[in-house]
Amino acid sequence: MEREPIHSMGRVGATLRSDAPDEASAEIRSYKRAHRSLLRYSPALLILVICIADAAQVTDPDLWGHIRFGQAALAEHNLGAALLGKGLAKRDPYSYSAAHSEWCDPEWLSEILMALVYTHGGVIGLKGWKFACVGATLGFLMLGLMEAGATPAVQLGLLIVAAVAMMPQMQFRPQLSTFVMLAATLAILAQDNYRRAAPLWLVPPMMILWTNLHGGFVVGIVAIAAYGGVAGCTDLIAGRGRTRGVRFALLTFAAILATLFNPYGFGEWSAVMHSVANQSTRTAIVEWQPLWRGMASQWHDSAVGEFNYLLVLGLVAALVLNFAMRPRRGDLPMLAVAILMSVGACISARNMPLAVIACVVPLAGRVSLATAEAGAEKEDAASGAVPQRSGVNQWVVIAITVFLAIYTGIFSPRLSIGMPVPASAVAFMGQHRLYGNVLNDYDWGAYLIWHIAPRSKLFIDGRCETVFSDKILNEYISFYFDCAGAGKVLRTYPHDFVLIPPRAPAYQLLKEDANWKLVYRDETAVLFARSNSAAAKIPGVPIDGGVPKRRYFPG
């Protein structure tokens, strides 16, 4: 009968069965290699991997809003008070559909940091902030791989796969904070799993920080609870008592209490839970939709983009198949976290990076142990000597890294806008002093907040989960797609203008409505005003505008 080696590197001699000398030898070799990180082995290769993950240098649709919200908080108080959440708007000042409704902003601290780096460093500052977040994510991920016993070569291979898989979602957004914090949390859990020695006391203060940076802190609670529950059960089955299970139960409770240290208290949990459960968001936003639907949408836009989806699915499949072929009890706690994150990615495509981060660590442990077992005899013959530095020429790697950074625009002071924006239409509105309530395209909400608020207010923007009710979201969807009730949306609210793309189904509805008149149009946007308004009497309307080939933030 096959023996089951216990994958616990910190207590190899005490935990491995005495009748498994070969497995123990392999574990010891894996443990020794665990203390060599890719950073020490080849710093240039690690930086190259970070540049690969950071290669997407285009704006996120909500970037304008994130910076503006942070700037507004900083304008109310000094920096110290702002960092304590003193300048936050608790009522929404930007919309008329949800005028003065409660606004719980789980990303407030990230937005203040983004505002600071943009105010003092411009676009280069923003790119530096993003590079630091991407680097921290991969750095903590490297530590987790190292704890799992991965050699520098295995670390490099898995980090490259992870970098390419996560690259499309490494955007200028507060969600980067969740990637960093999840990778850091898993590095701590990996140290506990493989060495039974980890600084678990760091978890509560990390949760306080995470809670104020991004609403993804719930993922951290789930990871800690799942890991602790499975680890406690495996210890009981193995006869090691319940100490570990009780310790993680207390740690989970402390982590939950830590999340209450935020300006909104329990309100932040309510906002995040509403965001997760909101079906209207899943209907309107592709990245919130199930993985298969995201893949279908990506195939329609560009088949090349399917490669990232396939990488994520490949990582999940590799881990599951590897475990199914050779199950080990010691891998179960980390595997449980990986499975939960993978299920989350299947439910919502925006969670794919979480699945990648969670899967590579246990996969590294299994690959490294298998490699150590297969190569034990060879290493005995070579006296176990392993080079401390990479044989690859570091200057060559540095040259490739610099070329990639320049090619992708990491050093450029310009940031390309990653979607069509109504820049010419907004310029037309400014030229003719057209201010009021704007029924707008959802994706343009943050852009319009930056350019026309507060003199004009909007119907909808990217804060849909934390400001706008399901009723408003459903009404917007009905209007935009010209569904039943679209005309009622036009009549119910005090719209002064409608600004949407010409391809929107609602465009035909507006053209046929005598109460609205087209006053401006170009390839990107059309602007309607009420037929009895001063805007409808501008000479020569509708005005035909032009669209620049390329625009750069802030546009």
Its sign, for the CA torsion 241, 247, 248, 252, is positive
Per-residue pLDDT, 371: 66
| Burial grade of 75 (CB within 10 A; 0-12, 13-18, 19 or more) | exposed
User: Contact, 389 vs 42, CB < 8 A?
Assistant: yes
pLDDT per position in the chain (555 positions), as tens?
333 333 333 333 333 332 333 333 344 344 444 457 888 888 999 999 999 999 999 999 999 999 999 999 998 777 777 777 777 888 899 999 988 888 889 999 999 999 999 999 999 999 999 999 999 999 999 999 998 888 888 899 999 999 999 998 899 999 999 999 999 999 999 999 988 888 999 999 999 999 999 999 999 999 999 999 999 999 898 888 889 999 999 999 999 999 999 998 888 888 887 777 666 666 666 666 677 666 666 666 665 667 777 888 889 899 988 888 888 888 899 999 999 999 988 888 788 899 999 999 999 887 877 666 555 444 443 444 455 666 677 889 899 999 999 999 999 999 999 899 999 999 999 999 999 999 999 999 999 999 999 999 999 998 887 888 888 988 999 999 999 889 999 999 999 999 999 999 999 999 999 999 999 999 999 999 999 999 999 999 999 998 888 889 998
Identify whether the C-beta of residue 315 lies closer than 8 Å to the C-beta of residue 161. Answer: yes
Q: What is the pLDDT of residue 5?
A: 35
Which position has the token pair 């503006």? Answer: 68
Residue with tokens 């498994």: 20
Gap between the terminal Cα atoms of the chain: 67
Closest of 331, 322, 354, 360 to residue 341, by C-alpha: 354
Q: What token pair was written down for 504?
A: 């929107």
CB atoms closer than 10 angstroms to residue 342: 25
CA nearest neighbour of 405 among 140, 39, 63, 135:
135
- How many angstroms separate the CA atoms of 126 and 128, rounded? 5
Residues 114-126: pLDDT tens digits? Answer: 999 999 999 999 9
Give the CA distances from residue 549 to residues 43, 99, 254, 360, 502, in Å, rounded to whole numbers and listed in that order: 39, 36, 53, 40, 18
CA gyration radius, the chain: 26
Structure tokens at 9: 């590197």
Q: How many CB atoms lie within 10 A of CB 470?
A: 13
19: tokens are 């009748």
What is the predicted pLDDT for the residue at 301? 63
For the whole model, what pTM was predicted? 0.87
3-state helix, strand, coil in the chain (%, to 5): 65, 5, 30
Alpha-helix residue ranges (DSSP H) falling in 175-242: 175-195, 203-213, 217-237
Return the residue matching tokens 């924006």: 421
**CA nearest to 156, candidates 367, 405, 350, 411:** 367
> Which amino acid, one-letter code, is at 157?
G
What SS3 state is found at 207?
helix
Per-residue 3-state assignment (H helix, E strand, C coil) for 403-452: HHHHHHCCCCCCCECCCCCCHHHHHHHHHCCCCCEEEECHHHHHHHHHHH
Q: State the pLDDT at residue 281.
A: 62
Pairing of strands 526-530, 516-521: antiparallel
Phi, psi angle pair for 544, to nearest 5°: -95, 120
The residue type at 387: P
Distance CA 57, CA 416 (A): 7
> Measured in whole angstroms, how far is the alpha carbon of residue 358 from the centre of its chain?
14
pLDDT tens digits, one per residue of 262-271: 998 888 888 8
Whether residue 506 contacts residue 476, with contact meaning beta carbons closer than 8 Å, is answered with no
- Say what the pLDDT of residue 159 is: 95
User: CA nearest 141: which of 73, 189, 99, 93?
Assistant: 189
365 near 158, Cβ under 8 Å?
A: no
Q: Ramachandran region of residue 517, left (φ > 0), alpha (ψ -120 to 50) or beta?
A: beta
Which helix H or strand E contains 530, and what residues bound it? strand 526-530
